[in-house]
Amino acid sequence: MNLITLTDIKQAQQRLRDLARRTPLLPLALPELGTEHVYLKPESLQPIGSFKIRGAGNRILALSEAERARGVLAYSSGNHAQGVAYAARQLGVRATIIMPTNAPRVKIEATRALGAEVMLYDPALEKREAVAARLLAGAAEPPVLVPPFDDPYVIAGQATVGLEIFEDLPSVELVLAPVGGGGLLGGVAAALKLLKPSIKVIGVEPELAADAQASFRAGRVVEWPAADTNRTLADGVRTLAVSELTFAHLRQYADDIVTVSEAELRAAARRLLLEARLVVEPTAALALAALLRHRASLPPSQHTVLVLTGGNADPATLAELLQS
């Protein structure tokens, strides 16, 4: 299986220069960690409030004119949907997005506001991949599928997060990033390891949706049922399984995958809201939750970066987190 290269990542960075924002590294004071310097990579500051614009944008920007004319199709619980919708609107491409009925209402409405056609499905009755396959099979001129993670262009787009981290902080020693389908973690790990192999890259999942960790430990892709993964507040990582392509990147480049509890996730999200003064969705707090829980067992580091994946939180969820 072909893994992305540093050339792929740098090409993605060039494609995305007018579409995605280069997010800064923001220092975060954590007195309990002593002299360790911790920085946040706030992808919540992207035009759509999520890193997903990078992968979706890179895939659509790489399409031929003939492919763009057919439009694009994607499936997502929210952030990838907005990434595809935003990139498609910027490039004048028709977009159809398949979204689960349990996706946050704010993400469904935002996707529609970006001009995409939204088709809802019940995740308890069918898988999103099956819905997409049915639509593609029934179309005379099928649109181009833009997967949320199972695509080399998407992975290379997400990998630009890692490229920026290294360019802005060459002394980085440890990076923590959430893992759902594996595109972000696989891409970031690939970029950093190809640039500086000594950097440690750790993925983070909720205990209630730890399919990627199970896969990492088993050495093969392990799928969890939707009834299990839907229990976590971190809706951005409710993916049932990583793909074979993203898993190949994780095995090659990631150092480990750890988990956190729902209580730890909520506490970390609250700290980011109040102390970092950043609007974040629960998934974005996974990296901080892992650093606080696992610091003693994580690789030693004086320069650590936490990837904050997005800020598209439902207002009711934000209110709940602030009151907890």
Contact 68, 91 (CB under 8 A): yes
Please report the pLDDT score of residue 105 as a whole number. Answer: 84
Cβ contacts of residue 192 below 8 Å, gap of 6+?
162, 165, 166, 172, 175, 199, 201, 253
pLDDT tier, 283 (very low <50, low <70, confident <90, very high otherwise):
very high
Nearest residue to 97 via CA among 63, 105, 112, 199: 112
Which run of H or E residues covers position 291? helix 286-294
Angle at 145 between CA 139 and CA 150, to 5 degrees: 145
Tokens of 129: 């991949």
Q: Are 309 and 285 in contact (CB under 8 A)?
A: no
pLDDT higher than 80, residue 1: no
pLDDT of 25-45, one tens digit each? 999 999 998 889 999 999 999
Average pLDDT, the chain: 94
State the burial class of residue 259 (Cβ atoms within 10 Å of its Cβ: 0-12, 13-18, 19+). buried
- Identify which of 166, 221, 227, 177 has the alpha carbon closest to the alpha carbon of residue 199: 166
Q: Is the pLDDT of residue 130 over 80?
A: yes
CATH 3.40.50.1100 boundaries in the chain: 6-50+151-323, 53-145
Instruction: List C-alpha distances in Å: 200 to 69, 212, 253, 305, 308.
Output: 42, 18, 9, 11, 17
Q: Which CATH number is 53-145 given?
A: 3.40.50.1100
Cα R_g (the chain), whole angstroms: 18
Query: Which tens digits make up the pLDDT trace of 68-127?
Result: 999 999 998 788 999 999 999 999 999 999 998 888 788 899 899 999 999 999 888 888
Alpha-carbon distance of 52 to 187, in angstroms, equals 12
Please tell me the predicted confidence (pLDDT) of residue 139: 82
pLDDT tens track for 131-177: 999 989 888 889 999 999 999 999 999 999 999 999 999 999 999 99
Q: Of 181, 301, 216, 202, whose CA–CA distance to 260 is shortest? A: 202
Residue recorded with tokens 């280069």:
22
Q: What is the pLDDT of residues 178-218, one digit of tens each?
A: 999 999 999 999 999 999 999 999 999 999 999 999 999 99
Q: For residue 215, how many C-alpha atoms fall within 13 Å in the half-sphere facing its CB?
A: 29
Residue 243 exposed, middle or buried by CB count within 10 Å (0-12, 13-18, 19+)? buried
Residue in the block written with tokens 């972000």? 184
Question: Which of helix, strand or coil describes residue 304?
Answer: strand
- pTM for this prediction: 0.94
Least confident of 57-66, 125-134, 304-313: 125-134
pLDDT the model gives residue 125: 86
Compute the average pLDDT of residues 8-37: 95
Q: What are 217-265's pLDDT values in tens digits?
A: 999 999 999 889 989 999 889 888 999 999 999 999 999 999 999 999 9
Task: For domain 6-50+151-323, give its CATH number from 3.40.50.1100, 3.20.20.140, 3.30.70.890, 3.40.50.300.
Answer: 3.40.50.1100
* Cβ neighbourhood burial of 300 (10 Å; 0-12, 13-18, 19+): exposed
